[in-house]
Amino acid sequence: MKILWLAPYPHPLDVQAHPVPWVGALADQLRQQPGLELTILHWTTKITTKTDEFARGGIRFIYLKMPSVRADILTLYQWRIVLVRAWLRRHAAGYDLLHLHGSELQLPAMTAGLPQPQLLSVQGLVSQYPPYVPWRLAWLRALWTLAGYYERRYLPAIHHFVCRTHWDQALVRRLSPGCTVHPCWEVIRPEFFRLPTLPAPAGGRPQLVFVGGTQVMKGFREVLAAFDLIRQQGEVRLVIAGVARPAEVWHAVQQAGLQHLGPADIECRPLLTGRELAQLFSESVALLHPSYVDNSPNSVCEAQVAGLPVVAADVGGVRSLVEDEVTGLLCTLAPASIAAQALRLLRDPALRQRLATQAAAVARPRHDPAVIVARTLEIYREVLRY
């Protein structure tokens, strides 16, 4: 079985790109399956030749040269669409099935009209995002509106979807009437199944974690405001992981007029490896995830597998991951709501233990790599039978 993935798997030279661990973790599992040949196609600005093809770890990688992100945007994403579509018209016949990872990057527009069977794994559904974007992020609203146009236009031509939550299943059935939905969860990196034993944070202060960097849509400002309320109740520290510079965080604190936070209360860490993030989780009391909109946030799944209690905003598909008061705590985007739930966990070790144990008991089998690989192969066979 020859499978071509269209997936945002970063080129080795693109060290600043998001590592998309949910894609890499599944690829690592599938490459070990006998009788399956996996090729991953993507584009990059980092190479100097038209294409860069190589094999690594049993996977064949193909990258197409993109001139610049700016040029891509100025052509309304047509540059990338035409580039990939032209490659597919020459080479797609050599594959049994095309597996598209996400609809945000115009992948359905690239594969439109090809006779090969196609399957799309839903990541988010960008056409649903613009109403949640604050007007101060007008540029993001514009980009997501543009991406949403392609999603609405080309998604009806996709007839098979891999979905995870009640939210994405309902939306794809609306965007592609008559489609077939194949439920399947994502593979979580093995590091989160192996919990390290680590010392408590320096100074013995309990620690909260936010992994959204300074992304407004992930609730960065709400987390800061909530943490200001929490600090008034006791000695707590916050670790912000992801793309976040201390100066940028401190500017946001001052701009919001938060009076109870000092530089020693917040630590910034860069994008972390799976092992580093698992270690951070093991040191912490809770993950805060007050995102404006989400389908099945990977960080929430990883925290649940690792046994870290989660406080998450009740948006999008989050309820398919977090059963309130059973496998985590739900909140609104109001800082007072986030703070109240976090304070419950800080003050009640029994509650923390109960939620962590119950979340892990649900999340570990839900994200079991063997189960997901078997299900993925079953889905491939189902699509090929149509």
DSSP string, 141-167: HHHHHHHHHHHHHHGGG--EEEE-SHH
Which residues are CB-neighbours of 157 under 8 A, at least 6 positions away? 108, 112, 176
DSSP string, 168-194: HHHHHHHHSTT-EEEE--PPPPGGGGS
User: What does the mean pLDDT of the chain come to?
Assistant: 94
β 2-6/97-101 pair status:
parallel
Phi, psi at residue 59, to the nearest 5°? -120, 140
Cα distances (angstroms) measured from residue 233 to each of 288, 290, 343: 17, 20, 8
Quick one: average pLDDT of 41-69? 95
β-partners of residue 62 are: 41, 53
Distance CA 151, CA 154 (A): 6
pLDDT at 203: 54
pLDDT range class, residue 107, cuts 50, 70, 90: very high
Buried b (16+ CB within 10 A) or exposed e, 297-307: bbbbbbbbbbb
Quick one: average pLDDT of 229-243? 95
DSSP string, 211-243: -STT-GGGTHHHHHHHHHHHHTTS--EEEEESS
Which residues are CB-neighbours of 193 under 8 A, at least 6 positions away? 305, 306, 364
* Closest-CA residue to 164 (of 367, 332, 312): 367
pLDDT surpassing 50 at residue 16: yes
pLDDT range class, residue 136, cuts 50, 70, 90: confident
* Superfamily name and number for 190-366: Glycogen Phosphorylase B; (3.40.50.2000)
Domain boundaries, the chain: 2-187+368-385, 190-366
8 A C-beta contact, residue 41 and residue 99: no
Distance CA 19, CA 299 (A): 13
Amino acid at 159: H
Which residues are CB-neighbours of 201 under 8 A, at least 6 positions away? 207, 237, 283, 284
- pLDDT tens digits for 186-210? 999 999 998 654 444 445 799 999 9
Phi, psi at residue 48, to the nearest 5°? -105, -15
pLDDT surpassing 70 at residue 323: yes
Cα distances (angstroms) measured from residue 126 to each of 122, 163, 321: 10, 15, 20
Question: CATH classification of 2-187+368-385 is 3.40.50.2000, yes or no?
Answer: yes
pLDDT surpassing 50 at residue 347: yes
pLDDT at 235: 93
Quick one: average pLDDT of 28-56? 95
